[in-house]
Amino acid sequence: MPRTAKTPQIPAIGPLDRSAGALGRQLAQKLRDAVKGGGLQPGESLPSTRALAESLGIARGTVVQVYEQLMAEGFLVSCPGVGTQVAPSLAGVPRKGAARGMPLPPLPPAAEAFARVASQFTPLPPVPFAVSVPVGMAAPGLAWRRLGNRIRAHGAGAPGGYGDPQGALPLREAIADYVRRSRSVHCGAEQVIVATGTQQGLFLACMVLLGQDDCAWVENPAYLGITALLDALAPGRMVRVPVDEEGIDVAAGLRLCPGARAAFVTPSHQYPLGMPMGMARRNALLDWARARSAWIVEDDYDSELRYTGHPFPSLQGLDPGRVVYLGTFSKILFPSLRLGYAVVPPALVQAFRGARALMDRHPPSADQHVLAAFIAEGHLDRHIRRIRGVYAQSRAQLLQILQEALPGGLAWLQPSDQGMHCVLWLAPRIDDRAVALQAVRAGVAVRPLSPMYAPGSGRPGLVLGLGAFPAEQVAEAARRLAAVIAAAAA
Amino acid sequence: MPRTAKTPQIPAIGPLDRSAGALGRQLAQKLRDAVKGGGLQPGESLPSTRALAESLGIARGTVVQVYEQLMAEGFLVSCPGVGTQVAPSLAGVPRKGAARGMPLPPLPPAAEAFARVASQFTPLPPVPFAVSVPVGMAAPGLAWRRLGNRIRAHGAGAPGGYGDPQGALPLREAIADYVRRSRSVHCGAEQVIVATGTQQGLFLACMVLLGQDDCAWVENPAYLGITALLDALAPGRMVRVPVDEEGIDVAAGLRLCPGARAAFVTPSHQYPLGMPMGMARRNALLDWARARSAWIVEDDYDSELRYTGHPFPSLQGLDPGRVVYLGTFSKILFPSLRLGYAVVPPALVQAFRGARALMDRHPPSADQHVLAAFIAEGHLDRHIRRIRGVYAQSRAQLLQILQEALPGGLAWLQPSDQGMHCVLWLAPRIDDRAVALQAVRAGVAVRPLSPMYAPGSGRPGLVLGLGAFPAEQVAEAARRLAAVIAAAAA
Per-residue b/e over A192-216, b at no fewer than 16 CB within 10 Å? bbbbbbbbbbbbbbbbbbbeeebbb
Quick check: is B305 in a domain?
Answer: yes
Say yes or no for a CB contact (<8 Å) between A159 and B139.
yes
Assess whether B373 and B439 both reside in one domain.
no
Say yes or no for a CB contact (<8 Å) between A114 and B355.
yes
Task: Identify which of A104, A182, A365 has the shortest CB distance to residue B347.
Answer: A104
Assess whether B351 and B410 both reside in one domain.
no
Q: Which residues contact B9 (CB under 8 A, 6 or more apart)?
A: A310, A311, B47, B51, B52, B55
Say yes or no for a CB contact (<8 Å) between A295 and B105.
yes
Complete DSSP assignment for A136-165: GGGS--HHHHHHHHHHHHSGGGSS-S---T
Cβ neighbours, 10 Å, residue A3: 10
In angstroms, the Cα distances linking B489 to A267, B210, B393, B483 are 60, 43, 30, 10
Query: Are the C-beta atoms of B391 and B133 separated by less than 8 Å?
Result: no
The C-alpha of A223 sits at a distance from chain B's nearest C-alpha, in angstroms, of 12
In A158-212 the beta strands, taken as DSSP E runs, fall at 192-195
Burial of residue A81, with CB atoms counted within 10 A of its CB: 0-12 exposed, 13-18 middle, 19 or more buried:
exposed
In B116-170 the beta strands, taken as DSSP E runs, fall at none
Question: Which pLDDT score is estimated for B325?
Answer: 98
Query: Are the C-beta atoms of B162 and A132 separated by less than 8 Å?
Result: yes
Output the tens digit of pLDDT for each of chain A's 490 residues: 333 333 446 777 877 878 777 888 888 888 888 887 777 887 788 888 888 888 888 888 889 888 887 777 777 888 767 788 888 777 654 444 444 567 788 899 999 999 999 888 888 999 999 998 999 889 998 999 999 999 999 879 999 999 999 999 999 999 999 999 999 999 999 999 999 999 999 999 999 999 999 999 999 999 999 999 999 999 999 999 999 999 999 999 999 999 999 999 999 999 999 999 998 999 999 999 999 999 999 999 888 888 776 677 899 999 999 999 999 999 999 999 999 999 999 999 999 999 999 999 999 999 999 999 999 999 999 999 999 999 999 888 888 888 888 888 899 998 888 889 999 999 999 999 999 999 999 999 999 999 999 999 999 999 999 989 998 999 999 999 999 999 999 8
Highest mean pLDDT among B18-32, B122-136, B209-223: B209-223
Q: Which of A30-39, B13-22, B95-104 has the lowest mean pLDDT?
A: B95-104
The C-alpha of B207 sits at a distance from chain A's nearest C-alpha, in angstroms, of 7
Assess whether A273 and A338 both reside in one domain.
yes
**Among B453, B143, B200, B146, which Cα is nearest to B344's?**
B200
The C-alpha of A458 sits at a distance from chain B's nearest C-alpha, in angstroms, of 22
ipTM summary value: 0.84
Residue ending a domain, choose from A381, A403, A428: A381
The C-alpha of A428 sits at a distance from chain B's nearest C-alpha, in angstroms, of 30
Highest mean pLDDT among B41-55, B69-83, B282-296, B306-320: B282-296
**Among A261, A228, A222, which Cα is nearest to A241's?**
A222
Query: Are the C-beta atoms of A7 and B384 separated by less than 8 Å?
Result: yes
- Which residues on B lie below 8 Å from A37 (Cβ)? 317
Quick check: is A331 in a domain?
Answer: yes
Say yes or no for a CB contact (<8 Å) between B336 and A160.
yes
Quick check: is A149 in a domain?
Answer: yes
Q: Are strands B262-265 and B295-299 parallel, antiparallel or unpaired?
A: parallel
Q: How many residues are recorded in chain A? A: 490
Question: Which pLDDT score is estimated for B310?
Answer: 67
- A376 phi, psi to nearest 5 deg: -65, -30
Q: Which residues contact A386 (CB under 8 A, 6 or more apart)?
A: A137
- Which residues on B lie below 8 Å from A364 (Cβ)? 196, 336-339, 364, 367
* Domain tally, chain A: 3
Quick check: is B95 in a domain?
Answer: no
Say yes or no for a CB contact (<8 Å) between A162 and B335.
yes
Assess whether A192 and A292 both reside in one domain.
yes
- Which residues on B lie below 8 Å from A290 (Cβ)? 100, 102
Assess whether A286 and A432 both reside in one domain.
no
Residue A396 C-beta-side C-alpha neighbours within 13 Å: 7
The three-state secondary structure class of B216 is strand
The three-state secondary structure class of B235 is coil
**Among B261, B257, B268, B275, which Cα is nearest to B298's?**
B268
Smallest CA–CA distance from B34 into chain A, residue: A184
- Separation CA A209–CA B109 (nearest Å): 10
Query: Are the C-beta atoms of B332 and B387 separated by less than 8 Å?
Result: yes
Say yes or no for a CB contact (<8 Å) between B159 and A134.
yes
- A30 phi, psi to nearest 5 deg: -65, -40
**Among B336, B325, B342, B478, which Cα is nearest to B398's?**
B478
- Which residues on A lie below 8 Å from B294 (Cβ)? 105
Assess whether A197 and A319 both reside in one domain.
yes
Say yes or no for a CB contact (<8 Å) between A159 and B144.
yes
- B209 phi, psi to nearest 5 deg: -90, -30
- Separation CA A235–CA B214 (nearest Å): 18
Task: Identify which of A121, A358, A385 has the shortest CB distance to residue B228.
Answer: A358
- Which residues on B lie below 8 Å from A323 (Cβ)? none
Residue A58 DSSP code: S
- Separation CA B264–CA B205 (nearest Å): 10
Say yes or no for a CB contact (<8 Å) between A107 and B12.
no
Q: Which of A420-434, B395-409, B470-484 has the lowest mean pLDDT?
A: B395-409
Assess whether A377 and A392 both reside in one domain.
no
Q: Across the beta sheet with A247-248, what order do the strands follow?
A: A192-195, A340-343, A323-328, A295-299, A262-265, A216-220, A238-244, A247-248
- Separation CA A242–CA A224 (nearest Å): 15
Assess whether A180 and A190 both reside in one domain.
yes
The C-alpha of B294 sits at a distance from chain A's nearest C-alpha, in angstroms, of 6
Complete DSSP assignment for A106-132: PPPHHHHHHHHHGGGGPPPPSSTT-SS
Task: Identify which of B16, B336, B352 has the shortest CB distance to residue A364.
Answer: B336
Question: Which pLDDT score is estimated for B223?
Answer: 96
In angstroms, the Cα distances linking B254 to A131, B203, B281, B326 are 52, 25, 13, 24
Q: What CATH number is attached to the domain comprising A240?
A: 3.40.640.10
Which residue blocks in B40-165 are alpha helix, DSSP H? 49-56, 60-73, 109-117, 142-153
Smallest CA–CA distance from B111 into chain A, residue: A208
Say yes or no for a CB contact (<8 Å) between B211 and A110.
yes
Task: Identify which of B108, B309, B338 has the shortest CB distance to residue A57.
Answer: B309
Assess whether A479 and A391 both reside in one domain.
yes
**Average pLDDT across chain B, whole number:** 90
Smallest CA–CA distance from B127 into chain A, residue: A161
**Among B355, B30, B274, which Cα is nearest to A359's?**
B355
Residue ending a domain, choose from A348, A381, A414: A381
**Cis omega (within 30 of 0) for bond into A221:** yes
Quick check: is A133 in a domain?
Answer: no
Say yes or no for a CB contact (<8 Å) between A182 and B279.
no
- Tell me how many residue pairs between chain A and chain B have CB atoms under 8 A apart: 434
The C-alpha of A87 sits at a distance from chain B's nearest C-alpha, in angstroms, of 16
pLDDT tens digits for range B43-91: 788 888 888 888 888 888 889 888 887 887 677 888 766 788 888 777 6
The C-alpha of A218 sits at a distance from chain B's nearest C-alpha, in angstroms, of 16
Cβ neighbours, 10 Å, residue B259: 11
Q: What CATH number is attached to the domain comprising A65?
A: 1.10.10.10
Assess whether B405 and B360 both reside in one domain.
no
Question: Which pLDDT score is estimated for B457?
Answer: 94
**Among A487, A355, A6, A147, which Cα is nearest to B152's?**
A147
- Separation CA A53–CA A63 (nearest Å): 6
Complete DSSP assignment for B248-292: E-HHHHHHH-TT-SEEEE--SS-TTT-PPPPHHHHHHHHHHHHHH
Say yes or no for a CB contact (<8 Å) between B1 and A181.
no
Q: B43 lies in which domain range? A: 11-90
Determine the Cα angle at A160 with ends A157 and A163, to 5°: 95
Quick check: is B322 in a domain?
Answer: yes
Quick check: is A95 in a domain?
Answer: no
Residue ending a domain, choose from B90, B120, B151: B90
- Which residues on B lie below 8 Å from A112 (Cβ)? 351
- Separation CA B473–CA B452 (nearest Å): 28
Q: What CATH number is attached to the domain comprising B441?
A: 3.90.1150.10
- Which residues on A lie below 8 Å from B339 (Cβ)? 364
Q: Which long-range contacts (CB under 8 A, 24 or more apart) does A4-8 make?
A: A4/B378, A4/B381, A4/B382, A5/B378, A5/B380, A5/B381, A5/B382, A6/A45, A6/A47, A6/B181, A6/B381, A7/A47, A7/B181, A7/B182, A7/B381, A7/B384, A7/B385, A8/A47, A8/A48, A8/A51, A8/A52, A8/A55
Confidence of residue B298 (pLDDT cuts 50, 70, 90): very high
Confidence of residue B2 (pLDDT cuts 50, 70, 90): very low
- Model-level pTM greater than 0.90? no
CA A244 to chain centre: 29
Quick check: is A116 in a domain?
Answer: no
Question: Which pLDDT score is estimated for B6?
Answer: 37
Confidence of residue B98 (pLDDT cuts 50, 70, 90): very low
- Separation CA B168–CA B364 (nearest Å): 9
- Which residues on B lie below 8 Å from A309 (Cβ)? 15, 55, 57
**Among B252, B242, B269, B221, which Cα is nearest to B452's?**
B221
- B102 phi, psi to nearest 5 deg: -85, 150
What share of chain B has pLDDT > 90, as a percent?
Answer: 65
The C-alpha of A489 sits at a distance from chain B's nearest C-alpha, in angstroms, of 31
Say yes or no for a CB contact (<8 Å) between B347 and A210.
no
Assess whether A287 and A299 both reside in one domain.
yes
In angstroms, the Cα distances linking B420 to A286, B81, B127, B134 are 52, 58, 15, 12
User: Is the per-residue pLDDT at B115 higher than 80?
Assistant: yes
pLDDT tens digits for range B211-270: 999 999 999 999 999 999 999 999 999 999 999 999 999 999 999 999 999 999 999 999
The C-alpha of B211 sits at a distance from chain A's nearest C-alpha, in angstroms, of 5
Question: Which pLDDT score is estimated for A424?
Answer: 95
Say yes or no for a CB contact (<8 Å) between B159 and A337.
yes
pLDDT tens digits for range B193-213: 999 999 999 999 999 999 999
Say yes or no for a CB contact (<8 Å) between A336 and B384.
no
The three-state secondary structure class of B423 is strand
Assess whether B271 and B376 both reside in one domain.
yes
**Among A460, A438, A434, A436, which Cα is nearest to A446's?**
A436
- Which residues on B lie below 8 Å from A232 (Cβ)? 354-355, 358
The C-alpha of B486 sits at a distance from chain A's nearest C-alpha, in angstroms, of 29
User: Is the per-residue pLDDT at B8 higher than 50?
Assistant: no
